[in-house]
Amino acid sequence: MAKLTMPFHQVLLLLFFIFSCLFFVTIQSRHHYGHSEQEQFHIVSHVSLPPSLAPEAAVAGPSYSVFNVLDFGAVGDGVTDDTQAFKLAWDTACQIKSAVLLVPDGYSFMLQSTIFSGPCKTVGLVFRIDGTIMPPDGPDSWPRNISKRQWLVFYRINGMSMQGAGLVDGKGENWWNLPCKPHKGVNGTTMPGPCDSPVVSTTETYTLSGPSFFEKQILSGFLNIYHWVFLMQAIRFFMSSNLTIKGLKIKNSPQFHFRFDACHGVRVESLTIKAPAQSPNTDGIHIENTNNVQIYNSIISNGDDCISIGAGCYDVDINNITCGPSHGISIGSLGINKSRACVSNISVSDSVIQHSNNGIRIKTWQGGSGCVSKVEFSNIHMEAVRNPIIIDQYYCLTKNCSNQTSAVVINDISYSNIKGSFDVRSPPMSFACSDSIPCTNLKLTQVELLPAAKGRTVANPFCWNAYGTVLKQTIPPVYCLMEETNATIDNTLLCG
């Protein structure tokens, strides 16, 4: 048999071809499984950058790719700063058509104040939290150059789902103990001292249709459209739409646990939110300038409102909430600093409020304008609740607020099948309406509230400048509502 021979230059050419192929495969493999160490840590900003090409992800089923934060350098020991790994995972998932950003079970991830920005190319982006995420432990642990006014912000996101069996731990204990907080003084008064968060209020309405100066300031935490002390809040969605929040546990936020500003199409379901009853300003869910909202099947106990509805909200459906201990479910406060506030088409139903300072409440400041209308409270059970039903148009934190003639109009409020027990320290029903503009078209039917402690003197329901109808006799009887006549101010026109 003839021996096959190959010229030396052809051997070299063949070897070069083989090594070139191996090098190409190595590079592709590296791009498939993750960034290099240099690529992982070269970004210094905590604001999400425009998406850039990154490693491919494992495929989850026929249509979704999974981006595990561990693959982007996260450690998950509860001590290491994993912010940049989360941002790299977000920037990668944000440009993929169908993606899951995975926070895996069995790890605790510490994140600094961060903005996850869109818009994304993803259709139905899933932010899945199965592990634990947490901020630095109190204000003293935060870097000086990072905002302490908000923690995790999702900005201009459309069609995202945040879900999972994990935990968001806000580590709020050291924030609650700041000397400016209202529980620190005698009888709950505020003591002098720094809060590292300014009191910021806006008295004008700004149209946030693009990345304006004010929009950037709100994202930075320097403006607060809720007119409130702006301490660090856990999770905030801003100018986003078609959101689903489901199944998560969140506890001990320094202030609000979830907050939605200028959003459209929000569905919140099966959440568990917990903070101590004495933790100040720890609202469970707050919405502001947000519409088409559904909040269902959740358990909330905290130191402030379970759910608070701010100005500019409409088409809100709240159902099957177990609330308390807390300050109840509230509309407001509205109209601070003579601002205009409009809230309409609100339904709260099939819920339990227990061992709380308030039940179902509408609260407005004197001097404001606007309207609260078309609100229905139905099928709500009260357990030892102080102020089960309350309208307060003289809301004031200092008790030194001056009387003013203008007020937010309150019209067309319905209370149906509200039953249970109340704390006898306050009347079971209180309708304290503005001197100048009465509450109108209040409707009560099947309201039965009994004292939680037997043998105690019970105050009668209280009314001031309140007009309405008792469709079916209440317990205790409400005799103080005035009948509406043609001489009554037509608040329906004021709400138009």
Q: Tell me the pLDDT band of 176, cut-offs 50, 70 and 90.
A: confident
Residue 124: CB atoms within 10 Å = 16
Lowest-confidence region among 26-35, 75-84, 131-140, 174-183: 26-35
If you average pLDDT over residues 459-480, what whole number do you get? 94
DSSP state of 468: E
Percent of the chain with pLDDT over 90: 63
Higher pLDDT, 24 or 309: 309
DSSP 61: T
pLDDT category of residue 229 using cuts at 50, 70 and 90: very low
Please tell me the predicted confidence (pLDDT) of residue 26: 41
**Residue 55 pLDDT > 50:** no
Stated length of the chain: 496
> Quick one: average pLDDT of 325-353?
97
Q: How many CB atoms lie within 10 A of CB 368?
A: 25
Give me the mean pLDDT over the 148-153 stretch. Answer: 83
pLDDT at res. 191: 55
Confidence of residue 448 (pLDDT cuts 50, 70, 90): very high
pLDDT (0 to 100) of residue 157: 96
Decide which of 59 and 178 is more confident.
Answer: 178
Q: By the 8 A CB rule, do 460 and 431 touch?
A: no
Q: pTM (2 decimals)?
A: 0.81
Largest CA distance in the chain: 120
Segment 360-384 shows an average pLDDT of 97
- The average confidence (pLDDT) of the chain is 82
| In the predicted structure, residue 174 carries a pLDDT above the cut 90 | no
Q: Name which of 119-123, 130-134, 142-146, 465-469 the model is least confident about.
A: 142-146
Mean per-residue pLDDT, 120-130: 93
Neighbours of 272 (CB within 10 A): 16
Task: Answer yes or no: is pLDDT of 455 > 80.
Answer: no
* Confidence tier at 445 by pLDDT (50, 70, 90): very high
Tell me, what's the pLDDT at 140? Answer: 76
Per-residue pLDDT, averaged over 196-219, amounts to: 37
Query: Is residue 201 over pLDDT 90?
Result: no
pLDDT-derived band of residue 394, with 50, 70 and 90 as boundaries?
A: very high
Write out pLDDT tens, residues 244-257.
Answer: 999 999 999 999 99
- Is residue 382 within 8 Å of 421, Cβ to Cβ? yes
CA 149 to chain centre: 14
Whole-number pLDDT of residue 221? 45
From 187-201, 324-338, 373-387, the region with the lowest mean pLDDT: 187-201
| Cα separation, 395 vs 333, whole angstroms | 8
pLDDT value of residue 152: 94
* Dist CA 265 CA 317 (whole Å): 11
Contact (Cβ atoms closer than 8 angstroms) between residue 160 and residue 134? no
Nearest Cα to Cα of residue 69 among 50, 52, 55: 55
**pLDDT by residue (tens digit) across 253-307?**
999 999 999 999 999 999 999 999 999 989 999 999 999 999 999 999 999 999 9
Q: How far is CA 259 from CA 153, 203, 340, 434, 457, in A?
A: 9, 20, 20, 29, 40
User: Is 32 an active-site residue?
Assistant: no
The pLDDT score that the predictor gives to residue 150 is 82
Which of the residues 35, 286, 327, 381 is marked catalytic?
Answer: 327
Q: Using pLDDT thresholds of 50, 70 and 90, give the confidence band for residue 490.
A: low
Confidence bin at 54 (pLDDT 50/70/90):
very low
CA distance 456 to 204: 48
| CA gap 114, 87 in Å, rounded | 8
Q: Express as a percent the part of the chain with pLDDT over 70.
A: 73
